[in-house]
Structure 1
């Protein structure tokens, strides 16, 4: 029995040290050297404090801010430790009610806006943590944000254009806007 157990235990300990300790430490070290910002969580700093990550959406509810995609995470919105979608299909009445309530909230926040509400403002992403909205979703909210901040609409439009990101690698996906970065730029606007 010892003849079988000793090599198995030795192999288990050796592989545990390699795959559980050496490899993760090596990959973390390489990542910190090659991609220091991403390895640190793509954190956004403001006045020396981390205010969020470029990769995780945050909930904004005040009219003076652009609102991101709804989050399906629980027990709170944009909970990074509970990343998931709602898994509600298009015929699910719970989803239909949630979308209806989100549209009503957007209309109530900006009663004069009769434009079609962009889908990404009423449907959550697969992860529930998407930090981006479409350019159309930003433009939809532009008037409300400009009025709440007492800014010219054109100034807000310029910020949307400045913080718009093109498709990944020039062809993957759609142009988008990082909501946190845009809202921080608005806060810095005088």
Structure 2
């Protein structure tokens, strides 16, 4: 059905088209049947509910996990240092600073002077983050674990013969480490045997 427009309606449509041309343009010189102006209500979109696998991680739990991973890496590098009679092996500075680094460096320097090395593996049993303070200027995590050095043998560096050690020494003991988040990443700053069996 064709609808005839009077002159006043034609002017309104032309004026509407002229003002709308900047925003949407006109595609034809033919008059179009008038349409009611589109109303756009403000829309709000709710964020989709995260699925269980997309739930954001708890920052404290993330810190604990990262600190434990650093601590385990620290012990792998410590093993390498103790096994090297030149006292240079291992990338210890990537995982330890402060008292923890000094302790290993002093111990291995003493061993180098005595011409001894420690070969084998150290087992860090059940490393557990007992506290995490992530809101301080330098976040830290305290880790407790059972250190098993029973497979770590102290040997003469040249002959590889075992060195006599005190029989009463602990081979499995509780150790507490403090790990801090430095600008370069997590670093073990203290690693302190607690003097009790585990």
Highest RCO, 1 vs 2 (Cα 8 Å, sep ≥ 6):
1
Q: TM-score normalised to the size of structure 1?
A: 0.24
Question: Greater helix share, 1 or 2?
Answer: 1
Which has the greater radius of gyration? Answer: 2
Q: TM-score normalised to the size of structure 2?
A: 0.24
